[in-house]
Structure 1
Amino acid sequence: MTAGILSGGPGGVSDAVLRELGGTHGGRAEFALLTAGQQRLRLLQLRALFDAVALRPGPGAAAFRRHWALLEAADRADRDAARGVLFYPLVGPWVRRCLRRLDSVAQGGQDRSPELLRELSHFGLLAAAAAARARVPFTLRTIGHDGLVVLPTLGVLRFAQAPAGTGPEPVELRGSGGRVAVIVRDGVPAVVHPHRDGSWRSGDPRWCPLRVLTGGPRPVLLDEIDPFRTEDSGLERHGLRADDRLTAAGSDQWQDAWAGAMSVIHLGGETRAAEVAALLECFVPLAPPPGAGPHGSGVSHCSGTRREAFGAVLSSTPRTPGYLAATLVHELQHAKLGALADLVLLHTSGAQRRYWAPWRPDPRPFDGLLQGAYSHLALAEYWQLFALGAKDPAERDKAWAEHSRCREQVGAAMPALAGSQSLTHEGRVFVNAMVRQLTRLKDHPPPEGHLARASAYVETARRMWRRQTSGGEPPVYVPS
C-alpha cells in the first residue's frame, strides 16, 4: 500500500511558495502541496506502526496483520475511498499514540497490555470503515470497549456493557455491497448503510451516525464520537474537554452556523473561502470553556487545532456564523503553518518559553510566537476586508476594531520574529513575506481612533507583561 509513496520524497518547497504562504495566502497548488505532505506523513506513520507491531509478538499482532490485509484489499479496490478513511484527521492522534506507546515499550517501559491491545484494536475498525466505503466484502472480528463500537467516519454502535471485570466485548463486522452488519453480544446485527447526505444510517436505535454538516463547499463531519479526538491534546491543562453527545438543538446550531459562515467568510477574501474548501474535513465539538455564561458572559468560546490532526478544527459550539468564520480563519492558519513545518525547517529555536506574545499572558516559545503572529496576521486582513465590504455601520465598526487590535498585536511581535538568528533560509523568506503583508495592510487604514485604542491595548499588555516577569531571568522583550 505504501510502496509508491515510500519510493519518493516530498522534495523542497520553493521560495515562491514560501512567500505565498508567508503572506497568509495560498491557492490550489499550495494547499495541494500541504495536503500531500500530510498524506505522505500519515502513510509513513502507518507503515512504522505495522513494523513496530510486527516486532512485538503478542495477541494483538496477528489480528493487526489480518486487518492490514483487509486495508490493502480496500486500497486496491477503491483507493480514493480507502484513503479517505486513512487520511481522516482523527486517525492522526490514534497512530501517534500507538507509536509512542510501542516506542516506550521498546525502550524498556511498562507494557500495559490491556491498554495497548485496546488501542491497536482500533485499527480493525479503521480497516472495516475503509472496506465498507470501498465496497469490499469482508468478515472481521475485533473487540468493543465501554459499550461502544466506533467505526471512523461512519458512526458508533452503543450496546449494553457487560458486568465490570469481564473484559472487552467480542465484535463481529460483516461487509457486503457497501453495507456493514455490526454484531455484538446479543447476536442481533445492526445493519449500517450510506445515505444520500453522506452519513451512514441504520434503522437500529443503537446506531448513532456521524453527523454531516451541509451547505458549504463540501460536506464536513461533526465528530463527537472518535475515542482519540482529544487524547494527549493537553486540553485538560486549560480546563477544556470534548463535548458530550450533542443534543438535537446543539446539532442544529452547528448546522446553522456552518451554513451561515460560508457567506460571511467570503467577505474576508477569496483565500479564506478557498482554505475552508481545500483543508477542512471535520469539526470536533468542545464543551464551553470554564466560566462561560449562558448569555455570552465570560469567555464564551474556545477553539484549537492539533498538528497531528491536519484538517480538523476543535471548537465549542459557535454562537453565530460570524464567530465560526473568524474561528476558521484563525485555526486554519495554524494548520497551514504546521503542515509547512512538516515539509521544511523554518527555524532552529528550542522550546524555551521566553517570548512575549501580545495575545497571551504567558511566555511563549519561538514557534508559538510565530504561530500566533501568523494566525493574527490573517485575521487582521480578514477583518479589514470585512470592514471594507460591510454595509451595516455597527458591523463595520466592530470589524475595524478587530482589524486594528490584530494588526497592532502582530506589529508588536514582528521585531522578535524578523530579527531572530534562528531562522533558516526558508524561515526568513516566510517571515519576510509576513512583514510585507503587514505593511500592505496599512494601505487601507481604519477610521480615526481605532488604531489609537488598539495601540493603547497592546501597550497595556506590554506593561503588564514586564511587571509580571520582572525579577526573574530576563525574557525576550519586543521593543517599544
Structure 2
Amino acid sequence: MTNGTSSDAGDIRRSPARGSPPVLRLSARAFDSLAAGTDQGEASRVLWRSEQNRRRLLLRALLDHGRAASGSDGPLPPLDVAWDLLEVAEDRAPDEVHAVLAHPPVGRWAARTLSRLLGLAHSDTPLWVDLGYLHTVAAAAAVRAGVDFILPVPVRHRVLVLPTVGSGDLPTRHVWSAVTLHHERGRLRGAPDHPLCSDAARASETWRPARTLRVTVNGLVLTAPLEDADPFRHSSAPTRPVRLSAESARRWESMLTGAWKILVDRFPRQAAVLTRTPLLLAPLPGRGRFRLNSASSGDAVGAVSLSEPDNETWLAETLLHELQHARLGALLRMVELLEPRPGPTGYAPWRDDPRPLKGMLHGIVAFLEVAEFWRVSRTVVSARARTHADFEFALARGQVAEALRQVRDHPDLTRAGHRFAAGLALRVDGMLGEPVAVEAGNLAGLARDAHRIRWRLRHKDRRPDGGDGPASARAGGPWAAPPALLHGVTELCRLWLLDQGDFLRRASRASDTRTGVLAADWRLVAGDLRNARDGYAELLRANPADERAHAGLSACLASLEEQPAPCRDDAVVRPGTGLTDRGADRSG
C-alpha cells in the first residue's frame, strides 16, 4: 500500500552508524487486513520492522543534533564515545544490541530528546542527563554482548538504569549525577568504590536485574518486561523508579498467565501476533475493579502503562486494545491516512474531552477490537457472565458506530484513509445486527446516552458538526479542567451486572459528590426511574447549572416517555436511539 507492493524487509540488524535501513512496503492485502481485523501476521511484521528502522534513524538524527548542541555533554564524555561502544557491542553480538534498541522506552527517549534538541519540547531535566541515556543504552548493549568497558553514565534520583539489563542504587550527592561505570566479565561497579553486582543477571543488595514475565499456554510463549525503573517507561514526563514488591510481581505474573490463556484459547490469531510484538508492561499506581487504566504512545510501540489488574479478563481485553493502538501508530507513520493539518475535533464516546481526527481514529480501532473481544467471549462464558459480556459488546459496538459516523467521510482523510475507514465500517456493520440480552442492550444504551448528553452539556459551545466553539473556549473553556468524570453511569452499569449485592449496598449509602456519580444515578441504573427523576429534579432546584442532573433527568424522562432526550444531533447520533422502557431492546 505504501509506494508499491510488499517486499521482504531484509536484515534490519545494522549498525546504527553504518548504512541505511532497508525500504519497507506494505501490500494492499496487508493494509486491508488491518482494517478488517484479519491480519495473520504479515502486516504486523512489516509494521514492527518499520518501527525498528525508524528508531535507528531517530538515533542517528539525535547523534547529529546532539553533537551540535552547546554544553550537551556536561560531565559525560561526548556522544561519539557511547556510539563507538554501541558499535563494538553490535559487532560482537548483533542480536543483543537489537534487543536493547527494540526496548520501547528507548524509542520514547529518542523521540522526546530529539524534539527537545529541535526546540519542540521542554524539560527541566539537564540536557546532558537526557542525552546521556545513550550512554546507558550503550552500556546495556555492551553488558549483554559481553564487552568490558569503563564509561561515565548519568544517574537519576540516585538510581542507575541500564535498559533491559537492570537498575542499581548509587549513593550520589545530587538528583542528577554522573558516575564512571566499570564492567568486567559481568561484574558492575560505580567508581570508585560502589560495587553493584558480581553478575548483572543476579540480584544483590544494590542491584535489581530487569524483570521479564514469561508465560506459556499450549506451546505459545508470551514475554513481557515488567518495567518499574526506566525513566521513559510511561508516556508522561520522565518518571522516578517505583519498585514493585516480589508479591506484586507474582500477582502480575498470575494475571498475565490467566489473560494469556484467554487469548490463546479464544483469539489464537491475535495471540500469535502478540508473541512477535515488542510488548512491555509499565505498572501504574492503583488497582481498578473493572476496566484497567491504561495508556500507550506511538513513540514507544508495544509499551503499555496500566494499573495492576485483579481480573485476567480485563487484562486480556486491555492487551488487545493496546495492540491495536500500537499497530495503528506504526501504520500512521508508514501510510498517510490523514492530512497533516489542524482540523475540527469531535465526540469520542469513550472520552470526556473533544478529540482530533487522529485521536478519534485511534479510539475507533482500539474499541472495535474491544467489541470483538466481547463478541467472542460472550459465546464461551457462563450464563451468569453472559449478560455482562453482552453489555460490553453492545456498548463498544455502539460507541464505535457513533464515532465512525463522524470520521468515515471526514474531509481530512486521504484516499488511503477513506479506504481504511470504509474497512472499519464494514467490520462494525457486521456486528450491529447481532442480538444481545434485552437488559444488556438497555444498559448499554443508557450508558452511551448518559455520557453523550453530559458531554454535550459540558461542551455546549461546540458546533453540532463537532467543530470548535469560540476561541476563548479552545484556549481554556469548559473542557480544560473537567470537574468530574462523565462515565460514572457506565461504571454503575458494570457493577449492577457483575455484583448486584454490592451495588445495592453502595447505593443505599450513596450521596451526591464531585466524583461524577449522583445518588439518583444509582436509582436510574437500577431501573427505579421515578425516584431517580425526583432526585435529579431536587438537585436542579438547588443548582440549575448541574450538568450531571440535567443529563440524568433527560435520560429518565426519555425512559418514562415524557419527552425525548435532548441534545440530539443527526450528524452525531443515529435517529431512533433514545432511551426506551427497560423492557424494550436497546442493543445498540
TM (normalized to structure 2)?
Answer: 0.71
Residues 1:279 and 2:266 are matched in the alignment: no
Partner of 1:44: 57
Q: Structure 1 residues 382 and 338, CA, compared in 2 at 3 Å: closer, same or farther?
A: same
- Residue pair 1:351, 1:366 contacting (<8 A) in 2 also: no
Aligned partners of 1:443 and 1:309: how far apart in 2? 37
- Residue pair 1:353, 1:366 contacting (<8 A) in 2 also: yes
Aligned partners of 2:432 and 2:465: how far apart in 1? 30
Aligned match for 1:247, one of 245, 248, 267: 245
SS of 2:276's partner is helix
SS of 1:246's partner is coil
- Residue pair 1:64, 1:124 contacting (<8 A) in 2 also: yes
User: Shift in Å at residue 474 of structure 1?
Assistant: 4.4
User: Shift in Å at residue 425 of structure 1?
Assistant: 1.6
- Residue pair 1:24, 1:333 contacting (<8 A) in 2 also: no
Q: Structure 1 residues 44 and 463, CA, compared in 2 at 3 Å: closer, same or farther?
A: same
Aligned match for 1:153, one of 143, 152, 164: 164
Aligned match for 1:376, one of 362, 367, 370: 367
- Residue pair 1:267, 1:385 contacting (<8 A) in 2 also: no
User: Shift in Å at residue 51 of structure 1?
Assistant: 0.9
SS of 2:419's partner is helix
User: Shift in Å at residue 315 of structure 1?
Assistant: 0.6
> Aligned partner of 1:212: which letter?
T
Aligned partners of 1:242 and 1:215: how far apart in 2? 28
Aligned match for 2:455, one of 453, 459, 465: 465
User: Shift in Å at residue 267 of structure 1?
Assistant: 4.7
Partner of 1:210: 210
1:80-118 deviation per Cα after TM superposition (whole angstroms, max 9, x unaligned): 1111101110001211222122222xx9x9998x71111
User: Shift in Å at residue 74 of structure 1?
Assistant: 1.3
User: Shift in Å at residue 230 of structure 1?
Assistant: 2.6
> Aligned partner of 1:190: which letter?
C
Structure 2: give runs of 5+ residues left out of the alignment: 1-14, 467-570, 575-588
Matches within 5 A, 1:238-387: 244-288=242-286, 296=289, 301-348=292-339, 350-352=341-343, 354-387=345-378
Residues 1:402 and 2:392 are matched in the alignment: yes
Aligned partners of 1:85 and 1:470: how far apart in 2? 48
- Residue pair 1:242, 1:287 contacting (<8 A) in 2 also: no
Q: Structure 1 residues 472 and 123, CA, compared in 2 at 3 Å: closer, same or farther?
A: closer
SS of 1:136's partner is coil
- Residue pair 2:89, 2:141 contacting (<8 A) in 1 also: yes
Partner of 2:197: 190
Identify the structure with bigger relative contact order (alpha carbons < 8 Å, sequence gap 6+).
1
Partner of 2:470: none
Partner of 1:222: 226
User: Shift in Å at residue 308 of structure 1?
Assistant: 0.5
- Residue pair 1:169, 1:185 contacting (<8 A) in 2 also: no
- Residue pair 1:350, 1:366 contacting (<8 A) in 2 also: no
Residues 1:69 and 2:76 are matched in the alignment: no
Aligned partners of 2:417 and 2:261: how far apart in 1? 34
Partner of 1:196: none
Partner of 1:427: 417
Aligned partners of 1:100 and 1:59: how far apart in 2? 14
Aligned partners of 1:96 and 1:330: how far apart in 2? 23
Aligned partners of 2:214 and 2:163: how far apart in 1? 19
1:394-426 deviation per Cα after TM superposition (whole angstroms, max 9, x unaligned): 222221211111011111111111121221121
- Residue pair 2:233, 2:282 contacting (<8 A) in 1 also: yes
Residues 1:478 and 2:572 are matched in the alignment: yes
- Residue pair 1:301, 1:318 contacting (<8 A) in 2 also: yes
TM (normalized to structure 1)?
Answer: 0.86
SS of 2:256's partner is helix
SS of 1:45's partner is helix
Superposed CA RMSD in Å reads 2.7
1:402-460 deviation per Cα after TM superposition (whole angstroms, max 9, x unaligned): 11110111111111111212211211121111111112224643234433432343233
Q: Structure 1 residues 329 and 351, CA, compared in 2 at 3 Å: closer, same or farther?
A: farther
Partner of 1:6: 20
- Residue pair 2:31, 2:43 contacting (<8 A) in 1 also: no
- Residue pair 1:242, 1:286 contacting (<8 A) in 2 also: no
SS of 1:214's partner is strand
- Residue pair 1:128, 1:173 contacting (<8 A) in 2 also: no
User: Shift in Å at residue 259 of structure 1?
Assistant: 0.9
1:326-362 deviation per Cα after TM superposition (whole angstroms, max 9, x unaligned): 1111111111111100111111164456201111222
Higher Cα radius of gyration:
2
Q: How many residues align?
A: 450
Aligned partners of 1:367 and 1:111: how far apart in 2? 25
> Aligned partner of 2:202: which letter?
R
- Residue pair 1:24, 1:374 contacting (<8 A) in 2 also: no
SS of 1:362's partner is coil
Partner of 2:33: 20
- Residue pair 1:230, 1:242 contacting (<8 A) in 2 also: no
Aligned partners of 2:69 and 2:359: how far apart in 1? 37
SS of 1:388's partner is coil
- Residue pair 2:409, 2:418 contacting (<8 A) in 1 also: no
> Aligned partner of 2:398: which letter?
E
- Residue pair 1:288, 1:301 contacting (<8 A) in 2 also: no
- Residue pair 1:15, 1:429 contacting (<8 A) in 2 also: no
- Residue pair 2:17, 2:87 contacting (<8 A) in 1 also: no
Aligned match for 2:182, one of 161, 173, 176: 173
> Aligned partner of 2:129: which letter?
R
Point out the more displaced range, 452-461 or 55-64. 55-64
Identity of aligned residues (%): 27
Aligned partners of 1:463 and 1:403: how far apart in 2? 21
